Amino acid sequence: MEKVTSGKQKCIAKVTSQVMLSAGIYSMWLKFPEEQDVAAAAVPGQFISLYSKDGSRLLPRPISICGINRAEHMLRIVYRVAGKGTEEFAGYAAGDTVSVVGPLGNGFTMKEGKSILIGGGIGIPPILSLAKELKGDVTVVLGYRNRDVFLSEEFAPYGRVYLSTEDGSVGTKGNVIDAIREHHLTADTIYACGPLPMLRGVKAYAEQEGIAAQISMEERMACGIGACLACVCQSVEKDSHSNVKNKRICKDGPVFDVQEIEW
């Protein structure tokens, strides 16, 4: 199966609910109009861009898709408050509206077989949407700093779940690769999203073990549609758009085959 890249739509979405999962981390469900159904086109690994109501904040805020309810034309996002834009979103309540562009980027290519899904920090939400749709033998490994293990219980219906924490307060003390080694986990394919150091570790582990891997990269974005070249990573091959060894994370990604990326 080839990667899926969908079109871009801008529409007004309605907030149906919002809750705080932990300090600074919020879960929001958005409902889209049927004639501009962003949810119908969305796949795990993609993101949407939300616009502030403050006219001084021109650039949208990209937020990964955590849940997809196509029947109800709804998407779920789970995000961390990191600035004025996301602080504004955290103040929204049911009935409020927000301007959205999406779905954007390339999602995960879902393969058959035995899988390990890896999420770290705020890279965990898109892994949940993947866990819900991925078929086969699924194992989930989630990495946190401490015992604030938001979303972890929601993975239980979709596969075996293992946790790691930097301080050892829950699960394996260390990182996600430490947890994989401790529990002797194996897979045909690894899917991962999280901070760059974690993804580097996943790449090294996958190459060492000969496991296929896809990684979803987190990066600050500007336009979110591939025009500005503000979010690039170093790639093995030249990008046809820029003719240099770069990939645009918002447009060519955020999901890449691990063999496409160099560090």
* Segment 196-228, tens digit of pLDDT: 999 999 999 999 999 999 999 875 655 666 566
CATH code for position 118: 3.40.50.80
- What is the count of structural domains for the chain? 3
Does 243 have pLDDT greater than 80? Answer: no
Average pLDDT over residues 5-31: 88
Unique residue bearing structure tokens 């582990």:
205
Q: Is 13 inside a domain boundary?
A: yes
Residue 1 within a domain: no
Model confidence at 263, pLDDT cuts 50, 70, 90, reads confident
Domain that holds residue 66: 9-104
CATH assignment of the domain containing 241: 2.10.240.10
Residues 118 and 201 in one domain: yes
What average pLDDT does the segment 171-175 reach?
98
Residues 243 and 255 in one domain: yes
Residue finishing a domain among 88, 104, 120: 104
122 and 188 assigned to the same domain = yes
Mean pLDDT of 29-38: 94
CB within 8 Å of 129: residues ≥ 6 apart = 44, 45, 65, 66, 67, 68, 76
Task: Check whether residue 212 and residue 230 sit in a common domain.
Answer: no
* Shared-domain flag, residues 185 and 225: no
Q: Does the pLDDT of residue 168 top 70, yes or no? A: yes
245 occurs within a structural domain: yes
What are 121-147's pLDDT values in tens digits? 999 999 999 999 999 999 999 999 999
Instruction: Identify whether the C-beta of residue 137 lies closer than 8 Å to the C-beta of residue 52.
Output: no
Coil vs helix vs strand at 140: strand
Q: Does the pLDDT of residue 2 top 50, yes or no?
A: no
Is 145 within a domain? yes
Q: Kindly state whether residue 3 falls inside one of the protein's structural domains.
A: no
Quote the CA–CA distance of 257 and 259 in Å, as a whole number: 5
Give the pLDDT mean for 78-88.
96
Q: How many CB atoms lie within 10 A of CB 26?
A: 19
143 found inside a domain: yes
Q: Which of 104, 138, 171 is the C-terminal boundary of a domain?
A: 104
CA–CA gap between residue 60 and residue 250 (Å, rounded): 13
Q: In this model, does residue 24 exceed pLDDT 90?
A: yes
Same domain, 47 and 128: no
Please write the tens of the pLDDT for every residue from 90-120.
Answer: 999 999 999 999 999 999 999 999 999 999 9
Cβ contacts of 119 within 8 Å, gap of 6 or more? 125, 126, 127, 128, 140, 141, 142, 143, 192, 193, 194
